[in-house]
Structure 1
């Protein structure tokens, strides 16, 4: 069931329920007042007959004749009068005897002074009355035909009014639901028009003050993130295709050339060395891409534990020097804090090693002496790691793009690479809620500063 139908149904049911409760309350209140009024009226008629009998000395036969010919509102009113000894003094229709006054009933009347009840279609009131220093027991019964007709008429009017009101409620509910959900319908139309080719389109937020506007704003923010991610993905895929194609093309070319005609062992060995070098380049590129993808995961999908910064740096140093024996890396522990907690962070050991290795490798590649100096310090609840080289430095133009994936600066001819290392390091540091900054003077060297919150 659609939401507008649910809202219409809910609105109609609630309104109909309130209306029905009001109608029932009105009907029952009116019926109760009508009943009390009728009881009082037949009681007053009975008292009047007492005065007719004892004060005006009207004969009982006359009163019985009036009873037999009564066609007004009180129909078939039957009055019986007893004295204190339970002796019948007067009865409108003794042969009919609607109330059937038994000694037990007369005792109850004397005890309670007055009782009221309904017997079949008759309203019965029985009470004691003191007149001329004598106490009488009086019963009166009558059918309220006029009152019942009036109640039936009111019930019919209420039923008709309820049905008409229910119809109006359904129409009003439908209209209200349509108006309330119109912004949602407009939003759906806007969303249906958004495709991969026009991710820059946005939803109209309207007044910007209600819940639907908040939803539209949230959706637009999501579109901003998707557009940014989609554009980055397109650029990423384009760069990957280019970077992977180059070593693959070189490998294919070298193998095709070596297979065209017989060659000497030295030539085959030379081809194997070149092919192996390109394959190693491709393998390193693949590993970097996998690490870059892993660094983009949701942090909840990566295991974190307490780690010491100095131990991770030493592991990264040994790993890099094993891969490139010509690199020289020194770690300065003189400013390391005394407290172990100040250099202990919550992180992933493998990813942090990858990040530190990339920064160290970048420093060594662009240094004349292929060296990198690492310093550890502590400041404002953060562990600080500085990576310093005295190489060629980075120009201002390249400095702002150094963390862009696959971007290589003006000094790309100085050393091989794919432009992934620094972008990967930044993502890993961000994944650990840290910051990485770069400071460089062209011709004087570069310093990378990494800040990581300790546990």
Structure 2
């Protein structure tokens, strides 16, 4: 069932329920008014006939003739008069006697002074009537043919209006829901045309500040992000292809040249060493790409636990110095740490070690003295790490691009690399809700600042 059909049906059912309640209240009110008005009429007719009998001294046979004559044309009120000892004084039509009065009925009237009830569809009223210090009981009954006919007409009118209203409301609901959802149809048709090959298409801006305008704007923002992501992915794949092709081409070339002619042992060793260096580049690139992929996982797929940052730093230093024994790495505490929580965060130890190792390795390999100083500062709710070197520095125009994957600045001529390390480090820091910034002066050195919220 489409949204349009659901809205139309829901609107119709809701309106039908309101109309039904309203119609029921109208009919019930009319029913109660008819009943009350007819009981009042019975009371007046009974009192009038009692006055004719007791006060005007009209003969009983005359009153009975009037009743019988009127009964042939209208639903005349049948009146009976008893004393309190259940002795009959007058009856309009004793041979008919629709009410069938009894002693229990008389006792009820004497007790309550007035009673009302139905005899089939006939309404009956019984009441005490005082005459010259003596009480009599008047029983009046009649069938409200005119009132019931009016109620039947009202009921039929309500049913007809109800059915016609429901049909009209459903048709109106279909029309207005179609009109209200027309922008959705436009959005759907536009979205169907958007594919991976034309992500530059955008939805037309819907005027106003309603939910559809917000949906259109949000969808366009999502397309912007997707387009950027696709472009970055294409660039990423292109860069990977380039990075892989260069060492592979070197390996193939070295092996083909050594195969074509006989060489000395020293030359073969040189070829093997060059091939080994290129293979190691490929291995480092593969490791970096794997780490980059891990840092791109959904948060639910990455395990986090309480992690001491100083311990991770020590592991990262050990890892870097094991691969590069000439690197010097100093770790300093700017203030005293009183408990583990102050130096701990909820993090992934492996990824943090990768990020710290990248920063330490970069600091050392771009410095003549191959030295990196790491300072740890605990302030309020934050842990701040400073990775400082006295290296060649980074040009101002390149600072904004150093976290771009595969970007390598002018300093690439000083050492080998693949341009993934800093972008991976930034991704890992952000994954841990941290912040990373850099300050650098060409010829003097570079400082990377990392900030995390501790436990």
| TM-based fold match above 0.5 | yes
Q: Which runs of 5+ in 1 are unaligned?
A: none
Aligned to 2:284: 284
Give, in whole Å, the separation in 1 of the partners of 2:257 and 2:273.
14
User: Alpha carbons of 1:106 and 1:394: their partners in 2 closer, same or farther (altered >3 Å)?
Assistant: same
In the superposition, relative to structure 1, how do residues 173 and 73 fare at CA in structure 2: closer, same or farther (>3 Å)? farther
Q: Give, in angstroms, the shift of residue 400 of structure 1.
A: 2.1
8 A contact 1:304–1:348 mirrored in 2? yes
CA-CA distance at 1:262 after TM superposition: 5.9
1:293-328 C-alpha deviation (Å, 9 max, x unpaired): 112223343222333332222211111111112322
CA distance in 2, matches of 1:15, 1:332: 75
Contact 2:388 2:446 (C-alpha < 8 Å) held by counterparts: yes
1:165 aligns with 165
Q: How many residues are matched?
A: 454
Aligned to 1:213: 213
Mean Cα displacement is larger for which, 304-313 or 58-67? 304-313
Match of 1:384 in 2: 384
Please state if 1:337 is matched with 2:339: no
- Does structure 1 conserve the Cα–Cα contact (< 8 Å) formed by 2:315 and 2:353? yes
Residue in 1 aligned with 2:8? Answer: 8
Q: Distance in 1 between matches of 2:327 and 2:203?
A: 54
When structure 1 is superposed on structure 2, of 136-145 and 430-439 the one drifting more is 430-439
- Post-superposition shift, 1:76? 4.6
CA distance in 2, matches of 1:99, 1:437: 102
1:335-377 Cα shifts (integer Å, max 9, x gaps): 2434344433332221111111111111222222322222233
CA contact (8 A) 2:386 2:450 kept: yes
Aligned partner of 1:59 in structure 2 is: 59
CA contact (8 A) 1:435 1:450 kept: yes
Secondary structure in 2 matching 1:402: coil
- Report what 1:230 is aligned to: 230
Equivalent-residue separation in structure 2 for 1:279 and 1:273 (angstroms): 10
- Give the Å deviation of 1:169: 1.5
The question of whether the paired residues in 1 share the 8 Å contact of 2:337 and 2:343 is answered with no
Deviation, structure 1 residue 407: 0.7
Distance in 2, matches of 1:353 and 1:189, equals 49
Any residues of structure 2 matched to 1:359-378 within 5 Å, and which? 359-378=359-378
Task: Compare 345-354 and 268-277 and name the one that shifted more.
Answer: 268-277
- Point out where structure 2 has 5 or more consecutive residues left out of the alignment: none
CA drift at 1:389: 2.3
Cα distance in 2 for partners of 1:322, 1:34 equals: 104
1:265 deviates by 5.2
Displacement of 1:421: 0.9
**Does the residue aligned with 1:443 lie in a helix, a strand or coil?**
coil
Matching residue of 2:443: 443
Q: Which residue of 2 aligns with 1:298?
A: 298
The separation in 1 between residues aligned to 2:179 and 2:132, in whole angstroms, is 76
Asked if 1:39 corresponds to 2:23, the answer is no
Query: Hey, what's the Cα distance between the residues in 2 that align with 1:393 and 1:73?
Result: 119
Structure 1 residue 269 displacement after superposition: 4.1
**Is the counterpart of residue 112 in structure 1 residue 112 in structure 2?**
yes
Q: 1:320 maps to which residue? A: 320
1:25 Cα shift? 1.0
Structure 1 residue 30, shift from structure 2 partner: 0.8
Residue in 1 that maps onto 2:421: 421
Quick check: 2:332–2:375 contact (8 Å CA) kept in 1?
Answer: yes
- Distance in structure 2 (CA, Å) of the matches to 1:290 and 1:385: 25
Partner of 2:395: 395
Length-normalised TM-score, structure 2: 0.92
Which position in structure 1 is the counterpart of 2:129? 129
- What corresponds to 1:309 in structure 2? 309
Contact 2:81 2:91 in 1 (8 A): yes
- Alignment CA distance shift 1:293-1:125 (3 Å): same
In the TM superposition, what is the alpha-carbon distance from 1:258 to its structure 2 partner? 4.1
State whether residues 84 and 110 of structure 2, in contact with CA within 8 Å, keep that contact through their aligned partners in structure 1.
no
TM-score, reference length from structure 1:
0.92
**C-alpha distance in 2 between matches for 1:259 and 1:63:** 143
Which deviations, in whole Å up to 9, do the C-alpha atoms of 1:220-252 show, x marking residues without a partner? Answer: 333333232222212111111111122223333
Question: What residue is the counterpart of 2:96 in the other structure?
Answer: 96
What SS is found at the alignment partner of 1:307?
strand
Cα contact 2:8–2:174 (8 A) shared by 1: yes
Kindly state the Cα deviation for residue 419 of structure 1 after the two structures are TM-superposed. Answer: 0.6
Q: State the SS of the aligned residue for 1:58.
A: coil
Contact 1:73 1:144 in 2 (8 A): no
CA RMSD of the aligned region, Å? 2.3
Q: Retained in 2: the 8 A contact 1:115–1:127?
A: yes
Q: 1:45: Cα distance to partner?
A: 1.6
Q: Bigger shift: 374-383 or 100-109?
A: 374-383
